[in-house]
Structures are given as structure tokens and as C-alpha cells.
Amino acid sequence: MNAKAEINDNNIKFKDSVGIVEKKLLHFNNAEKKLLLDCGQILFPFILAYETYGQLNAKKDNVILIFHALSGDSHAAGYYSEEDKKPGWWDMMIGPGKAFDTNKYYVICSNVIGGCMGSTGPSSVNPQTGKPYCLTFPQITINDMVKAQKMLLDELGIKKLFSVSGGSMGGMLGLQFMINYPDMLDSAILFATTARLSAENIAFNAVGRMAITSDPNWNNGEYYDKQPPDAGLAVARMLAHITYLSREILKEKFDRKLQDKEKYSYDFNIDFQVESYLKYQGYSFVRRFDANSYLYITKAMDYFDLTDKDGKLTPAFRNLNKNMKVAVVSFTSDWLFPTAMSKMIVNALKSQNIDVTFCEVNSNRGHDAFLLEKEKLTTIVKGFLENVERK
């Protein structure tokens, strides 16, 4: 009975998903395939973790490259096993019949360098020393992440992308890809992103990093054979998590509701449900993420700035593929990368005569809306991609 129910659950679970998927690791250890980083250092050898969903067609022209956000990874869709409870982070968007329809498209997602989910990052073993890089890992940038993924495409023999897409930091990678490899792209769909972090964005990232580096277990980044800085990373995540939510959804979900009791505790135990929720978010994050990667990737985000000395974005878009189509999507209640940041991108693209579609989606889910608003985003993406196909 139970076994049957489980099979039924799995039937439902797998019915509209890409099914069981596998993380692949590509080793770049050919001396000709070095990655020259913006900081001047060279990353070599290195590994990129990636996953693919759907089938590459004979012409190799049905590829969509998906970029993940700060805490994401290459596991964008499907399940790792029959028993797996949770699918990849953008399973709502990627699968047969979904927005990024795997019956038509060959979808690729790769973990960024600097990450901790298979691609080389500060927790990886430095082959020169046989020990984890820790802080000897070079500081990477969004541009470095994109260059590494271009090398992955080269290895896979993919010369052209039907589209690229991503939200938040993933959108930044999308913008950088458009700039670096204009002739490779037919289109791009950018969600809840920005061409540069604001002072407020940097401030929140800086406090998160301070929480990590203040944790004595951080030990100047050398903790891989010891107790990791879980407390510091949890605080950083809790703080960041508030910025991913809207005031409206916090009120709707939690308001001032108390946790398991009718009265205040009058001590420092958790009183409010919102406290309990945040603590859960913080401590489940540390089980899957590396503190040093959090430092490197937030710093890469802080550094990201496509504007010139005068704060103008237009020059960065001067050499874009003039035939490409771009969709820029923002969310009404996103206060981390609010609509004004998307509009800055849209206006700069228009000034370069790029065919750009802008949607401000009405949502109370804050920045996280790009991971949650399935129906609205599916409509937008399907319509947009059909339009690109018709071209």
C-alpha cells in the first residue's frame, strides 16, 4: 500500500519533469585551456559541473544556457534519484511542455567557478599543493564565470545559443554573455537583475561577509578539516533572505504570529514564527553551501558594473548582436533589484536599437518571485521564445 502510494507520488512527481538527471564534471586540464581571470591570475586546471536537459538537435541550434543565482548550482531541473524529494532549483520552468520546453530545447546549466557544487572554487583541492585553496583561490568576477561557461560550450561543440536566461546574479551572467559573445546569441531573458549593484546592495553583502569572517571558525578561510563557520554563514543567509522577500509576503505569511504558544516567552527563545522561519533558512543553507564560496561570489556580484566612468550603461551595449531579442522582467515587490534597475537595462538596450521586451510582473513575492511565479513567467517566456523562433 505504502509502496504503491510512493510509486503514484513518483508518477506525479516525474510526470512533468525531465526525470532523473546526472551532474557531469568537465575537467579543463589541457594546458591550452587556461582561464585568465580579471584579477590577472590564471585558473588552471579547473572543473566545471554542469547538467543538461532535453536533446541537442542535429543542427545544434536548440541550446538554452541557464545561469544560476548566488546560492544556486548546476541542478536546475529534475531529480537525482527516484527517492529525491526536491527537484532542481528552476524545475518549475524547465521540463517537457514547460517554459523552457525540453521537448524542443537542449537546456544546459553549469555551476559557476568560485562555487561549491562541483565547479572549482575555494573549497576545491589545489593540485599544486594537494590542499584546499581556501583564500589562495583567486578572486573571480561575473566575467570570469561567463568565460568559463563559454569554454564549456566550446568543449561541447556548441557554437550558437538559441537563448540564455537567469535571474538575479544569473541575469548578470546573461548580460555579460551578451556583451562578450554577441554573435553566439539569438536571445536573452533576464529576470530580477541589474547592470550594477547599488550601495545598498553592496552594504547588505558586506554585512553578510562580515558575519562570516567574524566567526572564529572561519579561521581566515582555513576550516575544511575543522568545524566550519556555520553560525556566521547562517547569519549571512538569514540577512540575505530578508532581502529576497517583500514586506507584503512577510506580513501575509507571518505577520506577528507566535511560535507554538499564546504568550511571549520573556526570554531569548524564539517567540515569533518569522524568527523560526529565518533560523531554519539559515541553518539549512549551511548544510549545502560553503562559507568561502559565499564570500567569493558576493564579492564578484559587488564588482559587477557594466556602466562606464560617467555611470552610462549604453557604451557596454555598443557591440551587441543587433538582431538579438531580449526580454527583461522585473517584479513589483522586489526591493533588492527593483524595477528601476531593469529599466536602466531596457533603456540602454533601446538606445542601441535592440529589440527589447520589458515586463514588470505584479507579484508580492519580492526578489524571490523569479523562483516562484510559475504561471506568469511561463506565459512570458513561452510567448517570447515563440517570437524568437518566428524570426
| 73, 91, 101, 215: residue in contact with its own copies (rule CB under 8 A) | 215
- Total binding residues for its own copies by CB under 8 A? 55
CB of 303 to its own copies, least distance (A): 5
Any contact of residue 258 with its own copies (CB under 8 A)?
Answer: no
Active site residue 241: no
Report the number of secondary-structure helices (H) and strands (E) in the chain.
10, 14
DSSP string, 121-175: -TTSEETTTTEE-GGGSPP--HHHHHHHHHHHHHHTT---BSEEEEETHHHHHHH
How many angstroms separate the CA atoms of 101 and 78, rounded? 13
Residues 49-78 within binding reach of its own copies (CB under 8 A)? none
Query: Roughly how many angstroms between the first and final C-alpha of the chain, as a whole number?
Result: 52
* Contact map string, positions 234 to 253, toward its own copies, x by CB under 8 A: xx--xx--x--x-x--xx-x
| 139, 357, 379, 387: residue in contact with its own copies (rule CB under 8 A) | 139
For residue 112, give the DSSP letter: P
Q: Which is nearer to its own copies, 185 or 235 (CB)?
A: 235
Any contact of residue 122 with its own copies (CB under 8 A)?
Answer: no
Residue spans of alpha helices (H) in the chain: 2-15, 142-155, 169-180, 199-214, 230-244, 247-253, 273-286, 291-303, 339-351, 374-390
Query: Strand 46-53 vs strand 24-28: parallel, antiparallel, or unpaired?
Result: antiparallel
Residues 25-44 within binding reach of its own copies (CB under 8 A)? 38-40
| 156, 254, 350, 364: residue in contact with its own copies (rule CB under 8 A) | 254
Residue 48 vs residues 24, 111, 144, 292, 320: alpha-carbon distances, Å: 8, 7, 13, 18, 27
Residues 337-376 within binding reach of its own copies (CB under 8 A)? none
Residues binding its own copies (CB under 8 A): 38-40, 135, 138-139, 196-200, 202-204, 206-207, 209-211, 213-216, 231-232, 234-235, 238-239, 242, 245, 247, 250-251, 253-256, 264, 266-268, 271-272, 274-275, 278-279, 282, 295, 299, 302-303, 305, 335
Catalytic residues: 168, 334, 367
